[in-house]
Structure 1
Amino acid sequence: MELKQSLDVFGEFLVKNLRDKGIGNAEALLSNKSKSPSNLKTQTEIGQFNESQKDLIKEIVIKSIDGAIHDFLFSLQELADFENNIQIFVNGKNIVELSDGIHGESFSENGWNAKFSKYGAKE
């Protein structure tokens, strides 16, 4: 139980601080709610898109973020299998060694996205 718990602690941290933040930033831009002056031009241009186009942009952002997370975790898995020079420990446990394929932990009906993301797994 403790092993899975450490893996889920990492997964929740990754989902909330990377996936959800990235999707949230995109949503703020798409809905013209970003307060950052550097986003003004982007939000003005996005304002010309219809809702269907904005939905497509959001889908692209989510797929891009999920793909990047997958590739990052896959690279950690490869390092663990060979060089093992980059390791991530949670509660004293190497999280890559706790999984039979850490790059797949996000993507299932019981994966990290489904359990921890406010955007769910199927976005």
Structure 2
Amino acid sequence: MIIDNLRDKQIDWFKGLIQGKWRSQESKEFHAKLSKLTQEEKQVVADVLEKILEKSMHDFLFAIQESNDLDSGLKVFMDGENVAELSDVLHGEIFTEDGWIERFSRHKSVYENKDTNWIKKLFS
């Protein structure tokens, strides 16, 4: 759920945005601005997006873990189990070779396999 809703949906939206798929006025304006960037600048935007998504998920999961450890505030249950109690380091679950991104994401990175050709294809 975390990977799908906090990461993959945002990557799908971003890819649709740079491909000009979205019809809202705001999306059209973003697409027009992104289309003017160089390939290197577009790559930087993709890199920043990926880092923001990772940091946001990390900080959200850390807040859940910390609330549980301090026994106050936010508690999250999935299928009747406290998710923070299922992991020693909940906020670290997204990283590593066998982490949630690797196991559950449709997008291993914003730019698949860190191949810079993906961005050329999206903007061509």
- Could you state the TM-score of these two structures normalised by the residue count of structure 1? 0.82
Match of 2:24 among 24, 32, 36: 36
State whether residues 15 and 116 of structure 1, in contact with CA within 8 Å, keep that contact through their aligned partners in structure 2.
yes
1:53, CA displacement in angstroms? 1.6
Q: Secondary structure at the match of 1:96?
A: helix
Residue 86 (1) aligns with residue 63 (2): no
CA RMSD of aligned residues (A): 1.6
1:32, CA displacement in angstroms? 2.2
Gaps of 5+ in 2: 115-124
Superposition pairs of residues 1-123 of structure 1, within 5 angstroms: 13-120=1-108
1:30, CA displacement in angstroms? 2.0
Q: Secondary structure at the match of 1:16?
A: helix
Large movers: runs of 4+ above 4 Å: none
**Percent identity over paired residues:** 32
Gaps of 5+ in 1: 1-12
